[in-house]
Amino acid sequence: MDPVEPRVAGGAKLITENTVTRVRLPRYEPMSFGLLTTAGLLFIAGIPIETGLLASPWEAGEASLPVALLGGAGMFGWQYRKVQSGLQDLAIDESARIVKLPLTYQRRKPLIVPFSEISGVKLDPVPHRNKYGTRYTYMVTIDLKDGTSQKLTDLNQSRANSLGAWLGEQFGFKISTKDLDAFPDPDSYEDASESP
């Protein structure tokens, strides 16, 4: 069996137009948005059916199913248009030596950063705690010379490493992983009783 090749840029979609490379970094995937909306609407529709508030459960089901499916399709379409618009893309213009950051993570207007203002690319662990323990994802961040940083996306460890290394290569930096080896594999959980 052939070894699996690592994903380029963390598996993000790369779109190249002349000297501009766009990295598609949607905060939320359209399919997830649509399915979650459909499930939520079906759950809400099930409450009056289950409690007998409507005359016939069959008729209520016939009425609520199209509403839930159309609602989910509508949310999918809305998020898909948002992603396809390019507003959530990281645009790297190699000839102008600038980066246009995506409109995610509370950025409401385009932020254009010259390569010369970028001091590094880093990965910060983000703990996600629940009753089973703690799992980690990693925030890919661009550090700027003015001391601020700009969040790009939150990924699992292997995808974050790949995207961080690819971005570092584009900007001429090595990534700072903040001792990622000290954190467990993001696909596994620490025991909740051992968490600090």
- Return all residues near 79 (Cβ < 8 A) that are at least 6 apart: 26, 28, 29, 30, 33, 34
pLDDT tens-digit series, residues 106-155: 888 888 899 889 888 888 888 888 888 888 888 888 889 998 989 988 88
pLDDT at position 160: 84
Cα–Cα distance, 112 to 92 (Å, whole number): 10
- Top-confidence residue, 188 or 144: 144
pLDDT exceeds 60 at position 179? no
Cα–Cα distance, 2 to 184 (Å, whole number): 27
Name the β-bridge partners of 133: 130
**Residue 190 confidence class, pLDDT cut points 50, 70, 90:** very low
- Please, what is the average pLDDT of the chain? 77
**Residue 57 confidence class, pLDDT cut points 50, 70, 90:** low
Cα–Cα distance, 98 to 171 (Å, whole number): 10
Helix, strand, coil % in the chain, rounded to nearest 5: 40, 30, 30
pLDDT exceeds 70 at position 194? no
pLDDT exceeds 50 at position 193? no
The dihedral through the CA atoms of 18, 21, 24, 27 has a sign that is negative
Cα–Cα distance, 99 to 153 (Å, whole number): 15
